[in-house]
Structures are given as structure tokens and as C-alpha cells.
Amino acid sequence: MEDGAKEGELSSPIEGDSGIVTRGGIAEVEMQPIDTTDVSLIVCDDQGAGVAATAASDPNINDERLKLLAKDPFNGLPLSWRQIFVFPVFVVRQFWAISFQFWFAIYARGEDPKAIGLSAMFFGWLCCSQAIVGFGDTLGRLVVYRWALVLQLICTILIAFVPYKQSSFIALCFVVGVGFGPCASLQTFIWNEALPLRMINVTTNIMFGFWSVAIPTVLYFWRWLRHAYTGSIDHWRIGMAVTSSYLALHLISTTLLSSSVPWHLSMRHVKRAEMSFVSLAHSRANKSEFQNLLKHLPEAGGKKTKSTNGCSGHCKQYWSNVRSLCSTVYSGTLVAGVMQFAISGLAYWGMGVQVAKFLPSAGENLELTLTLFGFLELPASIIAWWFPRKFGIAKTIAMLYLVETVFFAGLFLSGGYGLAALLLARVICSALYNLLFTLCTAGFPPEVRSTGGGMLPNVGRLGSMCAPLLGYLDTKMVVWISIISSCLGFIVCKAFVSSLPGKYTSADQNESP
């Protein structure tokens, strides 16, 4: 269920969009005013030089406005139906992701030999996700995303219709996990880059908030389907076929999405950026400003050869992006982000194995536990949406870690009080997850966003993989581990953030969605 997926909001501009600053040789996420964003976060260095030179030679060009539009092309524009359509497209993906993963919860668990397929899926997810997601910066987000979906669709169809053999079943689940990894990260960048920057925290919370509806719907549909086909030996194949239909529908709907305008600008694909902008922008919106500014951006020049534009060229760019992320500019951000994802993942998934200790009936009814946690996604999304409007994203993350520590301490209580503390801690864990996914987009410029932003949840997922181990420990030890990890998350947040952001402002009402 971590699909990105752990995959809404600002009615006002962000006074504190993110940048990367360096203090003492360590990169730190800083929330800066949106109209003074550093050009290094918007365009490549050589492009930035070209923009600066053009602005200097042409007094009619507003350099600051150019920088803003390069990062936020839809700044000040109303949402179009094409942009709103992004939400139902990825809602279908939520159903697909939840359906496949929860299929194991209903059809294959316990002593069923097919239950190992879930472990194979997560193993493929963990091993290959980061190696693939980085190509979203060289080939484009949608290209890599669609190929991953095609890979998953083929495997789910084979699982549904090929005669069962455990070795082939495990291999197919592993390949499905290989596709899950990049999709979980890329979907976040695709929907955020298709919308105005003011919506960056709206999309994440809408998508994850929708889990409160999708999770119980999928769970009890699977349960009904299993009982409806109790006389069939291969009744589980029907569930996998239904899952394949969700995926096929989502794959078809992605053909209506447009490629990322900020990514095209970072790669100096000016003509493609203009085409994508025109297709996404509202039909009545004033597009002339952005189109006029595009004329002053240099198109990627030079004759493209097979070595620079083919497979080897993309691989060289891939490793170049990796090397740039290892520099002092980004290394601190990566360390902080990975640690916070690992800490939040350990807590988020670790709470699930503790429910039975406070609610004995949950141990016999997995659907009850998952549905209960699904409902908690709605208040978590509201918290992750409202608090950044008041205090800023970075400050909210630090505050939530402290609140989470208090609720973890409440797990020392017994009975209903302990259960209440557990549920409240789960809400805060989920809200932290939403905010960290928002920072995956905000913390990196478009040209390395897939590589850097994808690395945070993909490597940080190691914490989630360790969460089941908490079920074997004594309750008091689990509580102390949770408290210490939450305090560590607060320390990491404070240590790597240069200054806490200001509040979201509503001064410019034209920026409302």
C-alpha cells in the first residue's frame, strides 16, 4: 500500500516554495518566496546563462518572471479540464495498486503458497525501482511510466491465465514489483508538473485521502468475490483478471496526459514545451506571456547523433545526474530525505502489526485492520493540507514528529487509551508520509527530479521492509523504538533545514485554484 504510490490544496500561492541552499557544505531544503527562486532550480546551468544573457540584452524581458514561469509555467492561470482530468486518471491507478496488493490479503495469505508472491513483488520493487526511475530525467516521465505499466499489465494477465506454477508465479510477481517502483515515484512528479505549483500539496493529499474510500471498497469487493466463487478451484484468477482490467483502463487513460513542461524546459526542448503547455493550459487563459518568453530560451542545439541521442547518450546522462546528486549541493538533502522516509515507513507500517495487541478481534479479521487504517487516510490528508498553509511544510514536518512522539508514548497505556494513541499515531505517520512525498517534488529541480526525488522513497523503503519485524518484539520495546525513531526524525528535519518557512499567504487572490 505504499504505492506512491504513498500518492492536494493551496488556494493561495506558496510563500515558501522550496530551494536548495548550502550551509557548511551540506545541502538543505529551504522554503523560499516563490518569486525569488534560484535559477539553478529551474533550468540547467547553460540554459540559465542563456536566459540571463538574453534578459540583459533585452530590457523588455523580465528576468525574474522568466525564472518563475520556467519553474511554474501555469503560474496565475486557472485550471483547465485537461489538468483536472489528471485526478481521475490517477484515481484509477490507486484502485489498481490497492487491488493488486490487497489481492494477497484476501486470496493468498497464511499457508497458501501464493502468499510468497507479495514478498517477491516487494523484493522486485526494492531492487529495481531506483535503477529505473532515474531514466525519467533522460527519457521523460510519461515514457518510463507507460513502459512500466505495460510490463505490469503483461505480467498480471499472465498470472491470471497461465497455469499455476510456483516458480513462474514468483517470477511474475517479482516483475510486477519492478514496474511498481518507478510508477510509485513518477506518478507524483507527473501530476505535480501538470498543475500549477500552488497545487503541489493539493494533489498528494487528494490522492492519498482517496484511499479512505478505495481501500474499504477494494477489500470488501474482494471478500464478496471470494465467497461468490467458493466452488471454483481457480476463483483467485478472477480477482487477478479484475486487477488487470483496472491497470488496462489506467494505461489507456494516460494517453490523454501531456508531458512535463518544466522537464522539457530543463532539457531545452522549447518547441515540445510549448506544445505541451498549449495542450494543458486553459483555452481562455492568456498564453502569450509564456509563449513570448519561450522565444528567448535557446533550443537544444547541435546535430544529434546516435551516440548522443541513443541508448548510450541516455545512459551517460543518467550517470551524470547520479554524479550531480552525489555532490555537496544535494547530498545533505538526500541523506535527510532518505532517513525521514525510512523512519516514517517503519512507523507507518509498524503500527499495523500492533493493532491486535490493543484490539484482539483485528488479529482474526485483517480486513477490519486495513479498513480502519484506510479511513484514517482522510484526517491525515486534511492535516497534511491545512498545517502547511499555516506554518509551512518544513515546520509542519518538525511539529508532526514531536506530536508523533507524544502519541507513541501513549502506547504504554492499555486498553482503549492505548488503541486511541495507536490510531492517532497512525494519522500523524500518514500525514508525514504525504508531506515527504510533496518534498520529493519540491526538493529537486526538474532535470534531476526523478533521480533525486525518486531516491528518497525508494531507498527509504528499507524502513518499511523492516516494519514486520516489530511484530516479533515486546510491546514496550516497540514503543521505545518508535519514540526514538520519531525523535531522530525531528532532529534530522531541524539539522538539514536552513530556516523554517513562513506561512502561506493569501495576498494574491489570483493564485487561487
pLDDT in tens, 411-458: 888 778 888 988 899 899 999 988 888 888 878 888 888 998 888 888
**Average confidence (pLDDT) over 126-134:** 86
In a domain, 56, yes or no: no
| pLDDT score of 17 more than 70 | no
In a domain, 303, yes or no: no
Domain that includes residue 153, residue range: 81-257+327-496
Q: In whole angstroms, what is the distance from residue 503 CA to residue 513 CA?
A: 18
Range scoring the smallest mean pLDDT among 178-192, 223-237, 314-328, 442-456: 223-237
In a domain, 365, yes or no: yes
Residue 480 burial class via C-beta count within 10 angstroms: exposed 0-12, middle 13-18, buried 19 and up: middle
In a domain, 508, yes or no: no
In a domain, 476, yes or no: yes
In a domain, 109, yes or no: yes
pLDDT of residue 220: 84
pTM over 0.85? The answer is: no
The model's confidence at residue 59, banded by pLDDT at 50, 70 and 90, is: very low
Highest mean pLDDT among 87-96, 108-117, 355-364: 87-96
pLDDT of residue 362: 65
Higher pLDDT, 125 or 352: 125
In a domain, 136, yes or no: yes
pLDDT of residue 382: 92
| pLDDT score of 26 more than 70 | no
Q: In whole angstroms, what is the distance from residue 377 CA to residue 383 CA?
A: 10
pLDDT of residue 171: 94
In a domain, 335, yes or no: yes
Q: In whole angstroms, what is the distance from residue 390 CA to residue 504 CA?
A: 6
Nearest Cα residue to 205 out of 433, 389, 11: 433
**Average confidence (pLDDT) over 384-410:** 89
- For helices 475-496 and 331-350, the axis angle rounded to 10 degrees is 160
Does an H or E element contain 363, and which?
Answer: none
Structural domain total, the chain: 1
| pLDDT score of 472 more than 90 | no
The CATH number assigned to the domain holding 238 equals 1.20.1250.20
